């Protein structure tokens, strides 16, 4: 272990606390007076000679005979934790929780800090035990906040929901949007288990908690779709527009599939066209192009793409346009050149086609409701990185963007 500056901060603290403790000892117990400074110096010596475990032993020895050094031990344990030496922090905090002389408030604090140590070390059951034991204490709100984080990590969504409500009772702020996502996560678990009835009930809870939670409407639509209730599915997905239309790219493919099942292709294309016009997105455009190709043929789809890429230029759009142009063409020299151009653009667009968190900048190929980087909910909006660079949007509710009139696009379909 290197000699680091933080020990220089610690040592004067040790001396001052030692001095105070020794003064108190002088007044109370003459027999202890001689031992106290010796243990401090021993501890400091071990720290300076880079033997932290022996230093801990020396300081614990001091604590065993003195009730005024608790703060010293909290400081020592926190410094170990900051250095990433969690096992040493655990040792010191554990020692404090077992001391008989400690005040109830300090024991609660030591238990809480021990829970944080276990959480950092990934020993989740022990962390849960420590925080749960504080439920009736003055630290119940802080412990409850940690439990919520722990249950999110464990994906124990029913427990997370209970904890979030408890935190709100304690007066803490837990966003309704976060709680609605917990219900959606729970519903997704029920969907995976095939229990669609329970899943629907949890999604209703999500909407009761936060009427703007677009994910609940999306999942409800998916459930209706799997149950072949296509009209109901479309109704749920259409609700997403009222809640937050920036998320419409997530419903595009399924919505088109539902319209096709109902054999209402024209209506489906009109809906996608309206969304593409009001809330432009490369993903929505590709679904629309697919729908147009399936109903009106590849030439109409190509014309649509070309018009849209001209109106809202992007490399992602150009890549798709070239893909259409190359489709089914013979490999003459001119096509070879075009193919090479497309390959170069495709390499570039792989990076541009990622989703990006608006809180921490985390990027991923897959869409996440909760950012894996910063654990924020709804901080990733389903827009590709290139779109966000050129046409910024916020994860908050969108205002319609009118770039092309539906009539103008219609003319090219
Ligand atoms: Zn993030």
CA atoms of 137 and 116, how far apart (whole Å): 16
CA atoms of 113 and 111, how far apart (whole Å): 6
pLDDT at 406 (0 to 100): 47
Cα–ligand 1 centroid distance for 10 (angstroms): 35
Task: Please list, residue by residue across 335-360, b when 16 or more beta carbons sit within 10 angstroms of its beta carbon and e when fewer do.
Answer: eeeeeeebeebbeebeebbbbbbbbe
Cα–ligand 1 centroid distance for 295 (angstroms): 40
- The answer, yes or no, to whether residue 26 has pLDDT greater than 60, is no
The tokens for 41 are 């110096």
Q: Give the C-alpha distances (Å, rounded to integers) separating 62 from 27, 30, 141, 169, 330.
A: 17, 15, 32, 41, 86
- Name the pLDDT band for 110 (thresholds 50, 70, 90): very high
Span 59-83, average pLDDT = 75
CA atoms of 197 and 98, how far apart (whole Å): 49
CA atoms of 158 and 165, how far apart (whole Å): 11
Find, among 205, 216, 210, 153, the residue nearest to 178 by Cα.
210
CA atoms of 354 and 383, how far apart (whole Å): 8
Span 134-143, average pLDDT = 93
**Each residue of 362-408: pLDDT tens digit?**
999 999 999 999 999 999 999 888 888 777 776 655 544 544 444 44
Span 136-154, average pLDDT = 94
Q: Tell me the longest C-alpha to C-alpha distance in the chain.
A: 101
pLDDT at 163 (0 to 100): 96
- The answer, yes or no, to whether residue 84 has pLDDT greater than 90, is no
- CA angle 275/233/239 to nearest 5° reads 50
Mark the residues whose beta carbon lies below 5 A from ion ligand 1.
357, 359-360, 362, 371, 373-374
Cβ atoms within 10 Å of 289's Cβ, excluding its own:
25
Backbone phi, psi, residue 356, to 5°:
-135, 135
- The answer, yes or no, to whether residue 335 has pLDDT greater than 80, is no
- Name the pLDDT band for 323 (thresholds 50, 70, 90): confident
Q: Which domains does the chain have, with CATH numbers?
A: 5-157 (1.25.40.10)
Cα–ligand 1 centroid distance for 57 (angstroms): 41
C-alpha torsion 266→268→272→275, nearest 10: 110
pLDDT at 395 (0 to 100): 61
**Each residue of 202-231: pLDDT tens digit?**
999 999 999 999 999 999 999 999 999 999
CA atoms of 348 and 228, how far apart (whole Å): 40
Residues 6+ apart with CB under 8 A from 1: 50, 52
Q: Give the C-alpha distances (Å, rounded to integers) separating 135 from 118, 124, 164.
A: 17, 17, 14
Looking at per-residue pLDDT, the higher value among 27 and 370 belongs to 370
E strand or H helix that includes residue 382: strand 380-384
Looking at per-residue pLDDT, the higher value among 102 and 149 belongs to 149
pLDDT at 83 (0 to 100): 82
**Each residue of 266-311: pLDDT tens digit?**
999 999 999 988 898 889 999 999 999 999 988 898 888 888 888 8
Cα–ligand 1 centroid distance for 358 (angstroms): 7
Cα–ligand 1 centroid distance for 162 (angstroms): 25
């Amino acid at each position: 272990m290197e000699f680091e500056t933080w020990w220089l901060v610690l040592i004067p603290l040790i001396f001052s606390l030692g001095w105070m403790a020794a003064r108190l000892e002088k007044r109370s117990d003459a027999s202890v007076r001689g031992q106290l400074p010796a243990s401090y110096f021993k501890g400091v010596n071990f720290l300076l000679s880079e033997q932290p475990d022996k230093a801990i032993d020396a300081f614990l020895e001091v604590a065993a005979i003195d009730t005024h050094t608790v703060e010293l031990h909290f400081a020592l344990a926190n410094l170990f934790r900051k250095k990433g030496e969690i096992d040493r922090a655990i040792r010191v905090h554990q020692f404090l929780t077992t001391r008989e002389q400690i005040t109830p408030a300090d024991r609660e604090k030591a238990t809480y800090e021990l829970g944080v140590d276990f959480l950092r070390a990934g020993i989740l059951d022990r962390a849960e035990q420590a925080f749960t034991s504080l439920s009736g204490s003055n630290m119940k709100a802080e412990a409850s906040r940690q439990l919520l984080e722990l249950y999110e990590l464990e994906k124990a969504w029913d427990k997370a929901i209970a904890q979030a409500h408890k935190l709100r009772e304690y007066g803490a702020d837990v966003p309704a949007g976060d709680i609605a996502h917990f219900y959606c996560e729970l519903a997704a678990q029920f969907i995976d288990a095939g229990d669609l009835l329970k899943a629907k009930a949890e999604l209703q809870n999500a909407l009761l908690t936060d009427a703007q939670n677009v994910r609940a409407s999306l999942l409800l639509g998916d459930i209706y779709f799997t149950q072949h209730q296509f009209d109901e599915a479309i109704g749920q997905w259409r609700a997403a527009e009222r809640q937050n239309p920036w998320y419409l790219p997530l419903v595009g493919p399924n919505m088109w599939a539902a319209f096709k099942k109902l054999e209402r292709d024209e209506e489906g294309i009109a809906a996608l066209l309206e969304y593409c016009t009001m809330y432009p997105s490369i993903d929505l455009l590709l679904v629309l192009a697919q729908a147009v190709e399936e109903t009106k043929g590849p030439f109409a789809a190509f014309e649509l793409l070309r018009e849209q890429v001209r109106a809202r230029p992007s490399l992602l759009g150009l890549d798709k346009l070239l893909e259409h142009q190359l489709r089914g063409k013979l490999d003459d020299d001119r096509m070879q050149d075009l193919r090479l151009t497309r390959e170069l653009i495709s390499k570039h667009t792989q990076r541009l086609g990622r989703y990006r968190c608006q809180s921490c900048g985390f990027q991923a190929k897959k869409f996440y409701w909760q950012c894996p980087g910063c654990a924020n909910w709804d901080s990733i909006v389903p827009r590709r990185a290139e779109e966000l660079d050129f046409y910024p949007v916020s994860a908050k509710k969108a205002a319609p963007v009118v770039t092309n009139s539906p009539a103008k696009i219609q003319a090219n379909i």
